[in-house]
Amino acid sequence: MIRASFLGLLALYVLVIGMALLVVANRHEARQLFADIQKLDKERDGLNADWSQLKLEQQGVLLNQVHVDTRANQELGMHKPSAENIKVIRE
């Protein structure tokens, strides 16, 4: 009887220690995942900033092309050539 009680107590002790180790492992994994999320958030913010900068540059280029085209038409009387006036030179 005492031996069975001792074995039961020992099994309970082993289970408690095992569960404590699982809790520690789960908390460690949660902290790792949280750190990964923060790193990915920072990377996303950097990529969003780069994207915004590229969009602004693209708009600047488009506006510059429109401005050049308008000035070429109005001030210099230039126009785009028609398909018949375009010659392709191949080497």
Residue-level pLDDT at 27:
98
Write out the chain's pLDDT in tens, 91 residues: 788 898 999 999 999 999 999 999 999 999 999 999 999 999 999 999 999 999 998 888 777 887 888 888 888 888 888 888 888 888 8
Helix (H, G, I), strand (E, B) or coil at 58: helix
Rg of the chain on CA atoms, in Å: 36
Residue-level pLDDT at 40:
98
- SS3 readout for 26-91: HHHHHHHHHHHHHHHHHHHHHHHHHHHHHHHHHHHHHHHHHHHHHHHHHCCCCCCCCHHHCCCCCC
Residue-level pLDDT at 60:
83
Residue-level pLDDT at 9:
93
